[in-house]
Amino acid sequence: MKNKNLYSVPLFLIFTAAATAQHSNCSHGDAPNAGQTAGAPTVQIPRTAAKNINLQTSPAAERMIYDSITAIGQAENIPQNVEAVSSRIGGRAMELYVSPDSRIAKGEPIAKIESLVFGNPPPTITIFAPRSGVVEKLYITKGSPVTPDNPLATIADTSKIYVVANVFEPSVSRLKAGQTAEIKFESFPDKIFTGRLVKFSSALAPDTSTLGAYFEVENPGGQIKPGMRAVFRIITGESPAKASVPQSAVLGEHGNHFVYVQKCATDMMYERRYVAVGKSDGRYVEILEGVRPGEIVAVQGVYQLQFMPAAESENGHSANAKTSVETEKNPPADKKSYIGNLMWSALCASLFLNAIFILGQFRKRKDGGL
């Protein structure tokens, strides 16, 4: 019996620890961590629901938050890249090789002109494109008269284009040549173009009190057309934020902002946590208090998390604060599982020790019989 007692304590502790470890993968306690709002509800989302709402997460991280100006405007050709083509002789257009809005390469023919000089046949000349681009305007038709004073066509090189931002007067002092802007067009809502500020209008527009800021944008495929409307985010400065999250992660308003922090990835549990926000640049929001760098927050499907069922904690309290009477009558599944594992561990330990004791008695009798 002495040996039995000697083995029972460590073996019982081993089996008990094994049972407890099954429940310790995630912390489900009610006590809030540092920076956590006491009583903030925790929700648990089924994996099928997470897929349906396209739930996505991202860590809070140190990032640069950009100071910016928002403006609207539109695209227009760069005047130096637009050229009018004319004939050096008078006559009439015998052939046309282009049409309005067609693309043409430098050196390709535009039209054949028959001279007014007498001859049989009259002499002709061919007019070629002086640059590559788009035939924006065609002023002649086949057979129409041609004079050196009137252009035949206008060709615009649109590989680069101006996008002009209309900046309100109070923000003009923050503008400097060389600044960049993120530009989005209504025609391409999912694409961001980058422009560089190259010049300003000479005066404010009297009807809107705005100044034209000209951003040069690369446009090799000619996607951007003159007249397209655009929204600008002009970068005027930057500052570091020790903790920031994507703008889509933050819900609430009027100082009551909150995010959903991943509490347990295995159980798909998310805790609603109120935060103090700082600067925002439209993409990221600085978190001054409430979330630490490295913590995982939900960034997509966030709105739907508000309507997910409350998760139950170890002592049976849900995010809706069930009463202790309800908890005793309906113990949570986690608690049942924990108690069950503990009882099974104790039973297994007892059976194991009895087996050792019986084996020891059998060997004693056998040795005594010899």
Tens-digit pLDDT profile for the chain (370 aa)? Answer: 444 444 444 444 444 444 444 444 565 444 334 344 433 489 999 999 999 999 999 999 999 999 999 999 999 999 999 999 999 999 999 999 999 999 999 999 999 999 988 888 889 999 999 999 999 999 999 999 999 999 999 999 999 999 999 999 999 999 999 999 999 999 999 999 999 999 999 999 999 999 999 999 999 889 999 999 999 999 999 899 999 999 999 999 888 999 999 998 888 999 999 999 999 888 899 999 999 999 999 999 999 999 888 876 545 555 444 433 333 344 544 455 556 666 667 777 777 777 777 777 777 766 665 4
Is 254 domain-assigned? yes
Domain-embedded: residue 273: yes
Same domain, 197 and 72: yes
Asked if 215 and 73 sit in the same domain, the reply is yes
Please name every residue paired with 167 in a beta bridge, in sequence order, or none if there are none: 211
Report the C-alpha gap between 26 and 38 in whole angstroms.
Answer: 19
Q: What is the pLDDT of residue 163?
A: 98
In a domain? residue 195: yes
Claim to verify: residue 337 and residue 218 sit in the same structural domain: no
Here the CATH number for the domain that contains residue 225 is: 2.40.30.170
Query: Based on the domain organization, do 130 and 169 belong to the same domain?
Result: no
Query: Count of domains in the chain?
Result: 4
User: In this structure, are 165 and 235 located in the same domain?
Assistant: yes
In a domain, residue 141? The reply is: yes
Q: How far apart are CA 189 and CA 192, in angstroms?
A: 8
35 occurs within a structural domain: no
Which pair of structure tokens corresponds to residue 131? 């640059």
**Residue where the block lists tokens 């961001």:** 192
Same domain for 199 and 72 = yes
- Asked, for residue 369, whether it belongs to a domain, the answer is no
pLDDT at 30: 43
Q: What is the CATH number of the domain that holds 279?
A: 2.40.420.20
Q: What is the pLDDT of residue 12?
A: 45
Q: Residue 214's closest CA among 277, 148, 150, 167? A: 167
Q: How far is CA 207 from CA 76, 166, 204, 326, in A?
A: 20, 12, 9, 68
Q: Residues 189, 279: one domain?
A: no
335: buried, middle or exposed (CB in 10 Å: 19+, 13-18, 0-12)? middle
Tell me, yes or no, whether 72 and 191 share the same domain. Answer: yes
Q: Please give the Cα distance from 217 to 273 (Å, whole number).
A: 42
pTM: 0.62
288 token code pair: 């001054």
Whether 67 and 280 have beta carbons less than 8 Å apart is answered as no
Same domain, 112 and 73: no
Could you tell me if 122 and 22 lie in one domain?
Answer: no
Residue 129 sits in a domain of what CATH number?
2.40.50.100
Report the phi/psi class of residue 89: left, alpha or beta, with left for phi > 0 and alpha for psi in -120 to 50. beta
Range of the domain at 51: 42-65+241-312
> 286, 312, 338: which is the final residue of a domain?
312
Residue that is last in its domain, among 208, 239, 270: 239
Would you say residue 150 lies in a domain?
A: yes
What letter represents residue 193's amino acid? F
3-state secondary structure of 196: strand
Residue 356 phi/psi, 5-degree rounding, is -65, -40
Which residues, in sequence order, are CB contacts of 35 under 8 Å at separation 6+? 273, 289, 290, 291, 292
DSSP 310: B
Do residue 185 and residue 318 come from a single domain?
A: no
CA dihedral sign, ordered 149, 150, 152, 156 = positive
Residue 347 is encoded by which pair of tokens? Answer: 């039973």
Whether 33 is in a domain gets the answer no
Question: Which pLDDT does position 344 carry in this prediction?
Answer: 65
Same domain, 24 and 127: no
Length reported for the chain: 370
Among 156, 171, 202, identify where a domain stops. 156
Q: At 342, list the tokens.
A: 């503990």
